[in-house]
Structure 1
Amino acid sequence: MNLNHLHYFATLAKEEHYTKAAQKLSITQPSLSNAISLIEKELGTYLFEKKGRNVVLTKYGRVFLEYVEKTLETLDQGVKKTKLLTSATSGIIDLGYIYTFGAKDMPLLIAKFLEENKENNFKFTLSDGNTLNIIEGLKNEDYDIGFCSKIEDEDEIDFTKIKEEELVLITPKNHPLSKYKEIDLIKTIDYEYVAFKKGSGLRPFIDKMFKDINKKQKIAYEVEKDECLAGLVEGNFGVGIIPNISILTHLDVNIIKIKNPKYNRNIYMAKVKNRCLSPAAQEFSKFILKNADEKNKSVQMKL
């Protein structure tokens, strides 16, 4: 029994006539008869019985038809959904991104992409998380494309740099370090830090900054999200190193440039190597690259 046989059976059940059903299916009547015989042999029962020049379903045929129709309907829905998702003019794009990228950049990018593709029916699912979450989601096919930090020695993922963010020191107001406009990181080592958790893509990056000056952070609190770190600093729980994101201007904190060691955090578009993306996801990937302007080996999104 195969899929064609199920179509033949359902058509004969509707037409109740071998010749008419064969014509509708564009096959010969012997081919149709043979297919029905194979189904009946496999099921061990008759599905049709003669009624004059026609055939009608037996009670067992009526039971089988109910499931065949459900199966064919489900399959048809699956075919339609798959075609919709993989169409060049429609489809759902699954994105995962780190918290800072979702606050401002992601909404602007999606809005611009949809504006440039008004004639198409593209939709998005959006999920935020830390870099490790994003990488895991890409590998599990939860996301088509991710936006995150780069993980070294991650052989399955292709990383393309799309944005650079300056890392700054933030302090509470009236903090002893608040007098500085620029600061050497070594001047901060006596103060408690609010730091990112080790699962964050930024944590090893910031740890390296301290390693460069042969010192360690005095970590009092660990958080996952940038806004949580900034909020705790505002609440006088410590100082912190964070990308210079827009939310900082709305908080009661001091933003201080780090002059030594000077680091910028890079954000990358991440995709699983050699995985076929849907046409919709491919279009969005091309759009991201088109809106990235490479200057002096650093890439900034043009929004």
Structure 2
Amino acid sequence: MNLSQLYYFSKLSELEHFSKAAKELYITQPSLSHAIKSLETELGVQLFEREGRRMRLTPFGKEFATYVKRGLREIDKGVERAQEFNGKLGGTVNIGAVLTVQGDYLPPLFHDFSENYGKEVKLNMFQGFSIPLVEGLENDKYDVVFAAAREQKPNLCYVHVLSHELVLVVNKDNPLAQRDSISISELSGCELHTYRLGTPIGEEVNDLLAEHNLAAKHDCEDEVSLGGIVSARPDEMALATFTIGLKAFSHLRFLRVKEAPQDFHPIYLIYKRDAYRSCAAERFIQFTQDWVAPKDAIPRTDNLEAGV
């Protein structure tokens, strides 16, 4: 077997889909299929089994994958160490992130990191919701994730990097649109939409509502969905975090919720506590912890009047 076969196997074991893996590897699907079949023939065992349109690892394939990924990480770290001797840092950092940090917070962070460590480090970004992102981190799909966390797990490290503010979202034709804040007790009897229960933000909003004996429809996944409902139904309102997802709606207005602190919904940089990481991933974690975000990297309602 050769190193390319092992890289191909590792990527296919991660994506479990031939065409997607071939695309990310920049090879043809037949070339990937041939490499995997050759590897299986040499090992004398089946590594994958087809399940519909996807490929699933066999029990031996799962065990083999743990050794292959560990070995490839060691090789990658050796390459990175060699590059460091030449004054260069290379490698790849796989980053999972919720949508709400991708338009404001992450772009300047990535820019400043590249300015400090050069363009040789490739920052791969993957979008998802908080719970699946953390699960992916635990399964070594990502090196780090930026996500919310209702409960913190002992095997993971959590670094608070920013918080999102809770707002009442109203249509511009709603009489409340002339105000800049509201008390949650004033929402009694109103038709309110918010995030689904079972998600960190959904549970946080539900806790706040429960304190005031109020209820809402927990029927949306994100700010875009909530903004769309209020946009289409002027008499209805939503409780949502003030993020980039709401910026697409020019005819919505956002009121501060007086009982909710400005740091209502925290977002963390999360990484595994005792896992092996490449030099590039270690540098990225340290850089992020030390980095000071510019003012406009975190949306705030108090910036609306200033035109930010």
When the two structures are superposed, what TM-score results if normalisation uses the length of structure 2?
0.63
Q: What is the CA distance between 1:227 and its match in structure 2?
A: 2.0
Q: What is the CA distance between 1:161 and its match in structure 2?
A: 0.6
Q: Distance in 2 between matches of 1:131 and 1:247?
A: 16
Counterpart of 2:151 in 1: which secondary structure?
coil
Preserved contact between residue 99 and residue 226 of structure 1 (Cα < 8 Å):
no
Alignment of 1:83-162 (within 5 A): 83-84=78-79, 88=84, 89-118=89-118, 121-162=120-161
Preserved contact between residue 160 and residue 269 of structure 1 (Cα < 8 Å):
yes
Q: Distance in 2 between matches of 1:288 and 1:241?
A: 30
Deviation digits for residues 92-126 of structure 1 (CA, Å, limit 9, x no counterpart): 101011110112211221122112222x6100221
Determine the structure 2 residue equivalent to 1:235: 232
Counterpart of 1:100 in 2: which secondary structure?
helix
Percent of aligned pairs with the same amino acid: 19
Stretch deviating more after TM superposition (180-189 or 231-240): 231-240
Determine the structure 2 residue equivalent to 1:195: 194
1:226 to 216, 223, 227: 223
Q: Distance in 1 between matches of 2:169 and 2:214?
A: 19
Q: What is the CA distance between 1:253 and its match in structure 2?
A: 0.4
Counterpart of 1:286 in 2: which secondary structure?
helix
Amino acid at match of 2:94: D
Determine the structure 1 residue equivalent to 2:56: none
Deviation digits for residues 167-207 of structure 1 (CA, Å, limit 9, x no counterpart): 11111121243243210112123222232122432111111
Counterpart of 2:102 in 1: which secondary structure?
helix
**Consecutive unaligned residues in structure 2, runs of 5 or more:** 1-41, 43-67, 300-308
Q: What is the CA distance between 1:85 and its match in structure 2?
A: 6.2
Deviation digits for residues 130-156 of structure 1 (CA, Å, limit 9, x no counterpart): 110111011010111111112325222
Counterpart of 1:260 in 2: which secondary structure?
coil
Q: What is the alpha-carbon root mean square deviation over aligned residues?
A: 2.8
Q: Distance in 1 between matches of 2:186 and 2:180?
A: 13
Report which of the two has the higher share of strand. 1
Preserved contact between residue 223 and residue 246 of structure 2 (Cα < 8 Å):
no
Q: Distance in 2 between matches of 1:152 and 1:199?
A: 12
Amino acid at match of 1:129: G
Determine the structure 2 residue equivalent to 1:41: none
Q: Distance in 2 between matches of 1:233 and 1:124?
A: 36
Determine the structure 2 residue equivalent to 1:215: 214
Preserved contact between residue 148 and residue 201 of structure 1 (Cα < 8 Å):
no
Preserved contact between residue 130 and residue 201 of structure 1 (Cα < 8 Å):
no
Counterpart of 2:239 in 1: which secondary structure?
strand
Alignment of 1:174-185 (within 5 A): 174-185=173-184
Q: Distance in 1 between matches of 2:173 and 2:144?
A: 42
Preserved contact between residue 76 and residue 278 of structure 2 (Cα < 8 Å):
no
Counterpart of 2:214 in 1: which secondary structure?
coil
Preserved contact between residue 132 and residue 199 of structure 1 (Cα < 8 Å):
no
Amino acid at match of 2:258: K
Alignment of 1:53-64 (within 5 A): none
Preserved contact between residue 162 and residue 292 of structure 1 (Cα < 8 Å):
no
When the two structures are superposed, what TM-score results if normalisation uses the length of structure 1?
0.64
Q: Distance in 2 between matches of 1:166 and 1:142?
A: 30
Counterpart of 1:132 in 2: which secondary structure?
helix
Structure 1: 4+ residue segments shifted above 3 A = 77-88, 246-250
C-alpha change, 1:81 and 1:152, in structure 2 (3 Å) is closer
Q: Distance in 2 between matches of 1:246 and 1:287?
A: 24
Q: Distance in 1 between matches of 2:149 and 2:284?
A: 20
Stretch deviating more after TM superposition (272-281 or 103-112): 103-112
C-alpha change, 1:82 and 1:279, in structure 2 (3 Å) is closer
Amino acid at match of 1:224: E
Amino acid at match of 2:122: K
Preserved contact between residue 169 and residue 258 of structure 1 (Cα < 8 Å):
yes
Q: Distance in 2 between matches of 1:84 and 1:212?
A: 55
Determine the structure 2 residue equivalent to 1:268: 268
